[in-house]
Amino acid sequence: MRRIEVASPAAEKFEVVVNWQGEIPAAKIAPEVAPAAPEKIAAFDWNQKISSDEKLEAVNLAPFFNDKVTQIFRNEYRTPRSPFASLATPDHGIGGWCEPTASADVDDSGLRALAAGNAGKVSLPDGITFATPGENGAKNIIFTSQWDNYPREVSVPLTGKSSHAFLLMAGSTAAMQSRFDNGEVIATYANGTTTRLALNNPVNWWPIDQDYFMDDFAFRRNEPIPPRVDLRTGIIRILDVETFKGQGRKVSGGAATVLDLPLDRPRNEIADRPRARQ
> What is the model's pTM?
0.79
**Spatial separation of the C-alpha atoms in residues 127 and 154, rounded to whole Å:** 27
pLDDT tens digits, one per residue of 74-130: 999 999 999 998 888 999 999 888 888 888 999 999 999 999 999 999 999 999 999
User: Where along the chain do its domains lie?
Assistant: 105-277
- Element (H or E) spanning 242, and its range? helix 241-244
Residue 11's pLDDT is what? 86
**Choice among 23-27, 135-139, 181-185, 209-213 with the minimum mean pLDDT:** 23-27
pLDDT tens digits, one per residue of 254-276: 999 999 999 987 665 665 555 55
When pLDDT is averaged across residues 31-51 and rounded to a whole number, the result is 73
When pLDDT is averaged across residues 172-179 and rounded to a whole number, the result is 91
**Spatial separation of the C-alpha atoms in residues 25 and 23, rounded to whole Å:** 6
**Spatial separation of the C-alpha atoms in residues 209 and 69, rounded to whole Å:** 12
pLDDT tens digits, one per residue of 233-250: 999 999 998 899 888 999
**Spatial separation of the C-alpha atoms in residues 117 and 107, rounded to whole Å:** 18
Q: Which amino acid is at 225?
A: I
Q: Name the DSSP letter for residue 129.
A: E
pLDDT tens digits, one per residue of 115-173: 999 999 999 999 999 999 999 999 999 999 999 999 999 999 988 889 999 999 999 99
123 burial type by CB count under 10 A (0-12 exposed, 13-18 middle, 19+ buried): middle
**Spatial separation of the C-alpha atoms in residues 215 and 193, rounded to whole Å:** 40
Distances (CA, A) of 275 to 155, 197, 222: 5, 10, 27
The b-or-e profile of 25-51 (16+ CB within 10 A means b, else e) is eeeeeeeeeeeeeeeebeebebeeeee
Q: What is the three-class DSSP state of 200?
A: strand
pLDDT tens digits, one per residue of 187-244: 999 888 999 999 999 999 999 999 999 888 878 888 999 999 999 999 999 999 889 9
Q: Distance between alpha carbon 155 and the CA centroid of its chain, in Å?
A: 15
